[in-house]
Amino acid sequence: MLITIENVLSRDEVRQFRTYLEAAAWEDGASSGGSLARTVKRNEQVDDSAEVAIKLGNHILRTLANHPLFVSAALPRKIYPPRFNRYATDGGYGLHVDSAIMHVPNSAVSVRTDLAATLFLSEPDEYDGGELEIEGQFGGQAIKLAAGDMVLYPASSLHRVAPVTRGARVASFFWVESLVADAAARATLFDLDQAIQQLTPLLAADDARLLKLTSVYHNLVRRWATT
Ligand code: NI
CATH of the domain at 212: 4.10.860
CATH of the domain at 89: 2.60.120.620
pLDDT digit string (tens) for 102-123?
Answer: 999 889 999 999 999 999 999 9
Claim to verify: residue 190 and residue 159 sit in the same structural domain = no
End-to-end CA distance of the chain, in Å? Answer: 23
pLDDT digit string (tens) for 120-155?
Answer: 999 999 999 999 999 988 889 999 999 999 999 999
Q: How far is the CA of 184 from the centre of ligand 1 (A)?
A: 21
Claim to verify: residue 25 and residue 78 sit in the same structural domain = yes
**Whole-model pTM?**
0.93
Q: How far is the CA of 218 from the centre of ligand 1 (A)?
A: 32
Q: How far is the CA of 57 from the centre of ligand 1 (A)?
A: 18
**Cα separation, 120 vs 96, whole angstroms:** 20
Q: Let me know if 202 is exposed, middle or buried by CB neighbors in 10 A (0-12, 13-18, 19+).
A: exposed
One-letter amino acid identity for 170? V
One-letter amino acid identity for 30? A
Mean pLDDT, range 77-87, rounded to an integer:
97
The three-state (H, E, C) secondary structure of 165-226, written as one string: EEECEEEEEEEEEECCCCHHHHHHHHHHHHHHHHHHHHCCCCCHHHHHHHHHHHHHHHHHCC
